[in-house]
Structure 1
Amino acid sequence: MTPPTHASRPAAAPPRGSRLRRAAAIGLATGLAATGIALGTGITAGAAPQGSLPTGTQLYKDPNSQVARWVAANPGDSRQPVISRRIASQPQAIWFSSYSPSTITDDVKAVTTPAAAAGQVPVLAVYEIPDRDCGGASAGGAPDLASYDAWVRDFAAGLGSGRSIIILEPDSVSLTTCLTAQEQSDRFASLSRAGAAIHSADPNAKVYMDGGHSAWNSATEQANRLRDAGILANADGLFTNVSNFNTTANEVNFAKNVLAALGNPSGLHAVVDTSRNGNGPAPGGAWCDPSGRAIGTYPTTDTGDAAIDAFLWVKPPGEADGCAGAAGTFLPDVAYALASAGTSDPTTPPTTAPPTTTPPPTTPPSGGTCAVTYTIANAWTGGFTADVTVRNTGSATVNGWSLRWTFPGDQKITSAWNARTTQSGAAVTATDLGYNATVPVGGSVDFGFQGTTSSTAPPSSFTLNGAACSSS
């Protein structure tokens, strides 16, 4: 499946969980992220039950993940050591998002069989519910609920008898605005059947249903929906923050509030996605590959909280939301930014963060020494994303670059990738991130950004390290 991107954004997107799918033999996944208002924490959780996942559980690391393949193929890349230590070394969810009834059982076995042989527990994200994402950027899914029910049974047939963690349908309970009351009821009944089918095929599988996140539905509302979706009978708990940026503390508190609203049943617990929440949400609620984020707590079942079964990396860090690159594509620059912003390597004391000072710039000769291509990649009411390519057309290598321009309208950058941006009024400066500081003669560097605006008129001129550039 080739997923849609963010080319068409609704005028007003509802608060939602960001989705960043992974490309695998089973299909290419897609991405969305979160906006929304902060949730009050007036609900007080009761005594937490005992966790259903043993502490010390070894989670499965897929040797064929995109990041693992990139690390193996790029031993000389300056970003490789940090990405290898802090991302590729970690177990991450494997997404099943392609409707492939004829192969799904074997696709699942291709994961669960080696995981069982290694004595490890895989995390499998099921993402095939009809009308998923309400027709948004992650639209798709099975053609109807009957087909979905059959697909889930075939999925379950590949689990075997070992322990596994099932992330059942992100957004499916939280995002139902496109459904009628009857359609929502039918979906929730199908989710309940899915949980039952998975447990029937593999009693050792742990099924977690969509809990949304702490800046979306209230804990009481989410509990009511989960109850209707069969969580009390056919699941082991709920997941929160999938592909999102909310802090772990907020998500743990929210999950406990949902459990409390469900009556704190002894068999239900929660898991939290911590894959890129190390710095919390982006300012202004930027959701699509926002800059300045960081990997969060490394995946573990040793959470220190009996109500929280695991901290997981459900969304693989470094795979694009759809703004920095095609949704689901692994981007080493994004991965490096997330990883280098982390506080430490796994299982080691904090280490000194990579230097952020860029090499001194080489002043280009006067005259035409650069060419800039500025493209509006996506646009929607009140917002846009832009891609920028800077080509070195001079006679000397550029070591450290600073690109400046002035917006002709009210454009305001909210996040950027592959560059560090500052803005004062309409004046913008974009600088390199160290790893992409060198631009050889004839070479180029790409970066992009997301912003708000009532006009997408492009800048009329650019300067690179003080020299004028031609532009198109």
Structure 2
Amino acid sequence: MAILSPLRRRRSAALGMAAVAGATAAAIGLTVGGASAGTLSGSLYRDPTSAVVRWSAANSGDWRAAVIRDKIASQPQARWFANFNPSTIQSEVSGFIGAANAAQQIPVLSVYEITNRDCGGASAGGAPDLNQYQTWVSNFARGLGNQTAIIILETDSLALLTCLSSAELNARNQAISTATRTIKAGNPNAKVYLDGGHSTWNSANETANRLRNAGVQYADGFFTNVSNFNPTSSEANFGRGVISALNGMGISGKRQVIDTSRNGGASGDWCADDNTDRRIGQYPTVNTGDGNIDAYLWVKPPGEADGCRYTAGSFQPDLAYSLANGAPNPPTTAPPTTAPPTTAPPTTAPPTTAPPTTAPPTTTPPPTGNGCSASFSVNQWPGGFTASVNVTAGSADINGWTVTITLPSGAAITGVWSAQASGTTGTVKFTNVGYNGHIGAGQSTNFGFQGTGSGPGGTASCTAS
């Protein structure tokens, strides 16, 4: 899915190079201190199916690949949900959440679906109307599970209001407030943050007023600097001003998250497509060392275009390399560059009297001709399981596959990632998604699923298409 690029950067004021240089070390330094000072703890989820990860895997011989792989693809980034797809959004969210929960990591989801988003600019779109928006949000919330998840709710929706009439503004505020409460009702452990613009756009007092009107009292706080380049120190100062203004309105306990995906270099012209002086900023972490800040996040995936020179949201390796080249290496505690182990503990702690067990992989011999084979392993705990499936091509390339697995009686699938499932019980057929249908001769790909009850036994069959 293409990740659209909000155009809030147009209003960013130019900063002098000297000021930027003074802030660069803080912007791109490693995690401050060792303890989380906000309300979150743990590690952020790195999506093994993101555009940059797929590009890195497919272009290992490219001269830019090592830098992009080590400094961008290795890092957790937000998954954007920006397509109006009310019939499939629940399953898409559930699959993403399931993969993060299986890895026991915190996923970041960016919701970008509000009606008349970006005021009709390069990232125009969203739900056709606000009633359909609420339907989409309700379905989105049903896929969130019950573990901690970070929700970046509607970039541009409050900082960019120039295209809305008074009545439309009131309706948008109500829609965002309702969306916040809907998400919280769907998953009380979800952390929801509303649009706070950035430090060189609206004032702190104006931002706080807009947040209040949109129901920030029901949210966990606000986000700033998405797709922008303002130094982290400037955003933190701005955030303190917003929090102070909210406190003065009787709204307390709100915190900030800051997008640091490309704020480690020069500021000025907002569009990264045409600016080679940008650098990635602070690596993503919830260990901020600041009681006002819950996380530094890469909401805008580095290397994805703004829409000036390239199509908005498209991954461009030259942009990614420009951002990463010369930036410091990630901290040694960064998430792994490979997919998380499929034998990770369950997403809800099992009883201490019954630790999880990992069943040995079940295998079928690799095919010798134009076909495929599949093997899987199961991580079982009382009441639930996760399964990891490897699909291997035979002696010739394949361009699509279907894996059939039979679940035991009483078992039901609750989430799938990197595949599509034909059902949730009994004999289930899993088919490839767009990016992993092609497998080279003798090569493999992986998908997974989780469910309730007992995990599957026996063997899996694979059919190439």
TM-score under structure 1 length normalisation = 0.63
1:56-84 superposed Cα distances (whole Å, 9 cap, x missing partner)? x2111111001000111111112111111
CA distance in 2, matches of 1:332, 1:36: 25
RMSD: 2.0
Q: 2:57 maps to which residue?
A: 72
Superposition deviation, residue 286 in structure 1? 5.1
CA distance in 2, matches of 1:191, 1:308: 22
Superposition deviation, residue 290 in structure 1? 2.0
Which of the residues 283, 296, 306 maps onto 1:311? 296
Q: Residues 184-223 of structure 1 correspond to what in structure 2 (within 5 A)? A: 184-223=169-208
Cα gap change, 1:285 to 1:330, in 2 (>3 Å)? closer
1:389-432 superposed Cα distances (whole Å, 9 cap, x missing partner)? xxxxxxxxxxxxxxxxxxxxxxxxxxxxxxxxxxxxxxxxxxxx
- Give the counterpart letter for 1:53 in structure 2: T
For the 8 Å contact 1:199–1:205, the answer to whether it is kept is yes
1:71-114 superposed Cα distances (whole Å, 9 cap, x missing partner)? 11111112111111100000000000000010000010110001
Q: 1:29 maps to which residue?
A: 4
Cα gap change, 1:51 to 1:202, in 2 (>3 Å)? farther
Q: 2:148 maps to which residue?
A: 163
Cα gap change, 1:289 to 1:207, in 2 (>3 Å)? farther
For the 8 Å contact 1:289–1:322, the answer to whether it is kept is no
For the 8 Å contact 1:274–1:311, the answer to whether it is kept is yes
Q: Residues 116-265 of structure 1 correspond to what in structure 2 (within 5 A)? A: 116-232=101-217, 234-263=218-247, 265=251
Q: 2:73 maps to which residue?
A: 88
Q: Matched residue of 1:262: which SS? A: helix
Cα gap change, 1:191 to 1:297, in 2 (>3 Å)? same
CA distance in 1, matches of 2:256, 2:40: 13
Unmatched runs of 5 consecutive residues or more in structure 2 = 16-35, 334-465
Superposition deviation, residue 306 in structure 1? 0.6
Q: 2:277 maps to which residue?
A: 292
Cα gap change, 1:205 to 1:285, in 2 (>3 Å)? closer
Q: 1:274 maps to which residue?
A: 260
For the 8 Å contact 1:208–1:236, the answer to whether it is kept is yes
CA distance in 2, matches of 1:202, 1:306: 24
CA distance in 1, matches of 2:141, 2:270: 37
- Give the counterpart letter for 1:35 in structure 2: R
- Give the counterpart letter for 2:40 in structure 1: P
Superposition deviation, residue 51 in structure 1? 5.5
1:313-335 superposed Cα distances (whole Å, 9 cap, x missing partner)? 00000111123422211111111
1:217-244 superposed Cα distances (whole Å, 9 cap, x missing partner)? 1000010010000001x10000000010
- Give the counterpart letter for 1:34 in structure 2: R
> Is 2:79 the counterpart of 1:104?
no
CA distance in 1, matches of 2:271, 2:52: 24
For the 8 Å contact 2:193–2:220, the answer to whether it is kept is yes
Superposition deviation, residue 285 in structure 1? 5.0
**Count of paired positions:** 311
CA distance in 2, matches of 1:222, 1:167: 16
Q: 1:15 maps to which residue?
A: none
1:16-40 superposed Cα distances (whole Å, 9 cap, x missing partner)? xxxxxxxx3xx5523533334479x
CA distance in 1, matches of 2:6, 2:317: 17
Higher helix share: 2
Q: 2:376 maps to which residue?
A: none
For the 8 Å contact 2:71–2:324, the answer to whether it is kept is yes
Q: Residues 362-377 of structure 1 correspond to what in structure 2 (within 5 A)? A: none
For the 8 Å contact 1:295–1:341, the answer to whether it is kept is no
Unmatched runs of 5 consecutive residues or more in structure 1 = 1-23, 40-49, 349-472
CA distance in 2, matches of 1:286, 1:58: 30
Q: 1:456 maps to which residue?
A: none
Superposition deviation, residue 137 in structure 1? 1.0
CA distance in 2, matches of 1:52, 1:204: 15
- Give the counterpart letter for 1:136 in structure 2: G
CA distance in 2, matches of 1:219, 1:329: 32
- Give the counterpart letter for 2:256 in structure 1: A
Cα gap change, 1:64 to 1:80, in 2 (>3 Å)? same
- Give the counterpart letter for 2:75 in structure 1: Q
Matched residues, percent identical? 55
- Give the counterpart letter for 1:263 in structure 2: N
- Give the counterpart letter for 1:208 in structure 2: Y
Superposition deviation, residue 288 in structure 1? 4.6
Q: Matched residue of 2:167: which SS? A: helix
For the 8 Å contact 2:283–2:330, the answer to whether it is kept is no
CA distance in 1, matches of 2:173, 2:266: 31
Superposition deviation, residue 345 in structure 1? 3.5
Cα gap change, 1:54 to 1:30, in 2 (>3 Å)? closer
Q: 1:362 maps to which residue?
A: none
